Structure 1
Amino acid sequence: MKIFSKEQIYKGDQLTAEKQNISSTELMERAGTQIFNWIHQRMQGAQVPIHVFCGIGNNGGDGLVLARQLVNYGYNVHIYVVNCSEKRTKDFLINYDRIKETTKKWPIMLNCEADFPEIGPDDIIVDAVFGIGLNRPPNEWVKRLFQHFRASKAFTLAIDLPSGLYADKVPKDENGVVWADYTLSFQSPKLVFFLPDTSKYTRQWEVLDIGIDLEFLQQTETEVELIGKNEMLTIYKPREKFSHKGTYGHALLIGGSHGKMGAMILSARGTMASGAGLVTTFIPKCGYIPMQSVVPEAMVLTDADDEKLTSITFDIEPTAVGMGMGMGLDQKTQHAFQKFLKSNEVPLVIDADGINLLAKHKDDFKLIKPQTVLTPHPKELERLLGSWKDDFDKLKKAKAFSKKYKCILVVKDAHTITVFEDKLYINSTGNPGLATGGTGDVLTGIITGLIAQGYEPLTASLFAVYLHGKSADIAVEDYGYQSLTASHVIDYLGQAYLDLFAKPQVQQKQEEKSGNS
């Protein structure tokens, strides 16, 4: 799913009005009606007090359309205009006049803190104050209004974007932002829903289709995409009947050290479960028996040293290499790592201590080949990029790093973002259960295994992150967040593959109902 920028959203609205021969007011009517339909479907006329707070721009106009529809259907609605400026948009004024024609209960003007209404904890707040149109911090009294919302503990529904939250930067004062329980986003989600600094401002979100021009949606290139099942189905490669283990590549995993062999075992198991035809591990001698015992499917090559890697040499021809897991930062290991980077011509995934060694010896950045995949967690990313002031600055630096070294960055987080040059791909799967040791090693194994099977490095990264998160989503139903382990992610990877082709429950029930009738 494409995530459009603020500028693209404005362009899409304008183009839709032109191509569909409708006015901007009619498009606003459509948007407000979709919001009403969403609320009406859930409330079915329930007489809970609904407080609709409208700004004096187009987001406020959407709110006035909604309020008028609520009035027409007999809801217990209270309408307010947050009078924060002398300027009003044309469409706001049109809908303000329409609502005055609809009800004798005209909107109440809010000009200062003394005007704030009483809101009960069982009431509903609809925030239609700013939307994406905000370009400066709210007035102080408007900030206090937003704090009044939060203090009421009422369910808060934001229209398009929580007011006070920018579409393209982090707000400086969290008290100047509406903390929404739910946000209805027009046509596509917003990038800020997925970033650590800003995702807290809405607990949940949903996209409403307001009929933006289909050609515009299909042909407009976006900087950001949200990756889900539909995107993965298009890249999945089914197995051929007459294939064999050689068909699906030979993955080589390099890493491990005394006391950290578990990382390599998890990575090897993840690589096998991803579908790689053959897996070989290159590890210190101390890991030989554990690896052979725990992962009998994998072949094992060992370094001459018992506890660490000192010389990476092998006589196989892998189709992909993953390295760094549990490798350690010993100087001899660093020299072996550097030597390997100089000679390697095979698609490469670098994780964990491989990233840390690169960060310590930044001259080695120039040794990584184009399309190399790096999989840093937040602290490892900071070692690569340096510090950042906020999430937008982080992504800017990540894109610059990717462009400079022509590499793929898998920025691991609650919503893992894969960065390649100027493009951001946000993963839609995963849960807090993944916040446990070893899950990153599993992910590296899955990426390496997919590349070994012939997926392009970027495609493999997106698919692996999706499968990894989906596996955790399925496993958490049995184990809960706290008890989920990296091994569970491997164990449920097959179900994540099967889920690609599973029908949504709603569709399945409809088909069953149709079959019974």
Structure 2
Amino acid sequence: MKIFSASQLQKADKISIDNQGITSEELMERAATRAFNEIENILDENKTVKLFCGIGNNGGDGLVIARLLKNSGHKAQVYAVNYSDKRSNDFLANNQKLEKMGLKPIVLKAEEDFPKISAEDIVIDAIFGIGLNRGIKGWPAKLVHHINHSGAFTIAIDMPSGLFSDQVPSENDAVIKADLCLTFQGPKLVFFLPQTMDYVNEFKVIDIGLDKQYLESLDSSYEITGRLEAAAIYKPRKKNTHKGNFGHTLIVGGSYGKIGSVILTAKTALKSGAGLCTLYIPKCGYIPAQTAIPEVMVLTDEGEEKLSEIEFDLEPDVICFGMGTGKDLVTKEAFGRLLERTKKPMLVDADGLNILSENKELLESVPKNSVLTPHPKELQRLIGEWKDDFDKVNKVKSFVKKYNLIIVLKGAYTFVFSGEKVFINISGNSGMATAGSGDVLSGVITALLSQGYSPENAARFGVYLHGKAGDLASADIGAEGMISGDIANYMGRAFKTLI
């Protein structure tokens, strides 16, 4: 699913109106009706719905919803937020229809006009929508705060009022905090960015019937990865196969006291379909690794407690480096030598990323199309500080282009940066915020690389599977009770959801 910009959606509205031979008012009726259908599904008939409608097209959507609520017998109170003397034509047309039904909006002109909002009410925010390009000021800003502090369940139409589509609000900007956002035609990028995602607790995409051919023709840098997209990438096993068909994964890492990280990665690689898996670790990890995972082969470094050589006599399909290695000079030098002789795309995580951050000349030696999997702090060390999340995204895009790498930026919504594309994953949950979760993710992606998935697809598909396994684990044992090993244990079930 593509993520479109505000300007693309505005143009799609106009083209759809022309191609379908309808008016803008008819398109508004269609969109608002489909939003109303979703609202009615969650409405308690004893609840009072308070609709706050701006005087533009977002307000027009709200007026249509108000009319449909009244027709359905729901208790609705409608308020027109009179922040300007201008009115959109579609707002005026729908306001007239509503008044003919005997439901005249109460006009709000100042703070003293604000209605009391109970925590038991349902609030519908249709004040500004997606077209906002500057912060809400004056008494309308106080109205936003009034709604936010009411405790009422708040539903935003298309976009929470005060939230911009292409910039992060300042700390002083008033923004509706929506419990649910019914967004038209596709999700918005700001729903997924760490600085803005908390304004949208949950969103649901409402297909308003815009011209499909035109939407498919649009270029978008941003795409969602959900179940349908993951299923399109998945390559199920054929009947006539053997372990050699699924690749040999080499996982290099570990140091004294941090052998658990590479054990988690190796265990997950096998549970994600790698045919063979070898661990290359310091000598101190030999017994723990052989005991924990009998299915894994183990090679040991000359170093007793840290990696110092990284010499091996095998040709793996993919190398994964970095979990628990530390950043000692001998390890850094060994990593540099490994990079020089590695030609295939590899995966670099954890201390591998930290070594690259402190020795940026090594970035030129990382094989092209390799996958780097930083969390935000590791990313900051790699690319430097950023002004806000939009600046961060642009800096990662430049970094990816400069070094021809793939970045998996871990977070509540994990972003995969590949070439000109950014893929945003929507599986996963808060229970995955636990030690070792990133080591498990590295195992998934590495296993997919060993099985012949392209680096982009391995990263995108691996992130989805990792999140889905977490969702399945959380459903069974609860978010607070999850540990990273649980995510690994649910990998097989994650694959099965795609069949």
Question: Do these two structures clear the TM 0.5 threshold for a shared fold by scoring above it?
Answer: yes
Displacement of 1:51 in angstroms is 1.1
Contact 1:147-1:175 within 8 A present in 2 as well: no
Query: Which deviations, in whole Å up to 9, do the C-alpha atoms of 1:169-212 show, x marking residues without a partner?
Result: 11113650011111100111111111211111121111111111
- Which residue in the other structure is 2:39 paired with? 39
> SS at 2:219's partner residue?
coil
- Which residue in the other structure is 1:95 paired with? 94
Instruction: Check if 1:69 corresponds to 2:34.
Output: no
What is the CA RMSD across the aligned residues, in angstroms? 1.3
- Which residue in the other structure is 2:194 paired with? 196
Amino acid across the alignment from 2:210:
I
Amino acid across the alignment from 2:15:
L
Displacement of 1:220 in angstroms is 2.0
Amino acid across the alignment from 2:34:
Q
Displacement of 1:367 in angstroms is 1.2
Moved more, 417-426 or 270-279: 417-426
Moved more, 47-56 or 108-117: 47-56
Displacement of 1:147 in angstroms is 0.8
Give % identity: 49
For 1:214-253, list aligned pairs within 5 A: 214-253=212-251
Query: Which deviations, in whole Å up to 9, do the C-alpha atoms of 1:305-328 show, x marking residues without a partner?
Result: 111111121111111111001111
Displacement of 1:47 in angstroms is 4.4
Structure 1 unmatched runs, 5+: 502-517
Moved more, 211-220 or 344-353: 211-220
Instruction: Check if 1:367 corresponds to 2:368.
Output: no
Amino acid across the alignment from 2:24:
S
Query: Which deviations, in whole Å up to 9, do the C-alpha atoms of 1:235-278 show, x marking residues without a partner?
Result: 11111222111111111111111111111111110111110111
Distance in 1 (CA, whole Å) between partners of 2:383 and 2:132 is 30
- Which residue in the other structure is 1:183 paired with? 181
For 1:255-270, list aligned pairs within 5 A: 255-270=253-268
Distance in 1 (CA, whole Å) between partners of 2:320 and 2:48 is 57
Amino acid across the alignment from 1:12:
A
Distance in 2 (CA, whole Å) between partners of 1:29 and 1:247 is 55
> SS at 2:107's partner residue?
strand
Instruction: Check if 1:358 corresponds to 2:356.
Output: yes
| Among candidates 315, 318, 327, match of residue 317 of structure 1 | 315
- Which residue in the other structure is 2:17 paired with? 17
Query: Which deviations, in whole Å up to 9, do the C-alpha atoms of 1:318-371 show, x marking residues without a partner?
Result: 111110011110001101111111221122000000000000011111111221
Structure 2 unmatched runs, 5+: none
Contact 1:157-1:181 within 8 A present in 2 as well: yes
Distance in 2 (CA, whole Å) between partners of 1:248 and 1:53 is 57
Displacement of 1:397 in angstroms is 1.0
Distance in 1 (CA, whole Å) between partners of 2:87 and 2:108 is 15
> SS at 1:322's partner residue?
strand
Instruction: Check if 1:169 corresponds to 2:167.
Output: yes
> SS at 2:391's partner residue?
helix
Displacement of 1:38 in angstroms is 1.8
Moved more, 270-279 or 214-223: 214-223
Displacement of 1:70 in angstroms is 1.7
Distance in 2 (CA, whole Å) between partners of 1:439 and 1:49 is 44
Instruction: Check if 1:30 corresponds to 2:30.
Output: yes
Distance in 1 (CA, whole Å) between partners of 2:365 and 2:85 is 59
| Among candidates 443, 456, 474, match of residue 441 of structure 2 | 443
Contact 2:35-2:182 within 8 A present in 1 as well: yes
Equivalent pairs counted in the alignment come to 499
Distance in 2 (CA, whole Å) between partners of 1:403 and 1:341 is 19
Displacement of 1:78 in angstroms is 1.2
For 1:59-458, list aligned pairs within 5 A: 59-103=58-102, 105-173=103-171, 176-458=174-456
Distance in 1 (CA, whole Å) between partners of 2:438 and 2:468 is 14
Distance in 2 (CA, whole Å) between partners of 1:443 and 1:12 is 38
Instruction: Check if 1:54 corresponds to 2:48.
Output: no
- Which residue in the other structure is 1:510 paired with? none
- Which residue in the other structure is 1:473 paired with? 471
- Which residue in the other structure is 1:506 paired with? none
- Which residue in the other structure is 1:3 paired with? 3
Distance in 2 (CA, whole Å) between partners of 1:343 and 1:174 is 53
Displacement of 1:126 in angstroms is 0.7
Contact 1:54-1:127 within 8 A present in 2 as well: yes
Distance in 2 (CA, whole Å) between partners of 1:257 and 1:364 is 21
Contact 1:377-1:413 within 8 A present in 2 as well: yes
Displacement of 1:40 in angstroms is 2.5
- Which residue in the other structure is 1:511 paired with? none
Amino acid across the alignment from 1:153:
G
Distance in 2 (CA, whole Å) between partners of 1:155 and 1:277 is 50
Amino acid across the alignment from 1:331:
L
> SS at 1:180's partner residue?
coil
Distance in 2 (CA, whole Å) between partners of 1:236 and 1:283 is 31
Distance in 2 (CA, whole Å) between partners of 1:232 and 1:48 is 39
Displacement of 1:437 in angstroms is 1.0
Distance in 2 (CA, whole Å) between partners of 1:146 and 1:72 is 28
> SS at 1:265's partner residue?
helix
Displacement of 1:14 in angstroms is 1.0
Runs of 4+ that moved beyond 6 A: none
Contact 2:256-2:284 within 8 A present in 1 as well: yes
Amino acid across the alignment from 2:123:
I
The TM-score normalised by the length of structure 2 is: 0.98
Query: Which deviations, in whole Å up to 9, do the C-alpha atoms of 1:97-147 show, x marking residues without a partner?
Result: 2222222x3111111101111112211111000110101111221111011
Distance in 2 (CA, whole Å) between partners of 1:173 and 1:17 is 38
Distance in 2 (CA, whole Å) between partners of 1:207 and 1:52 is 20
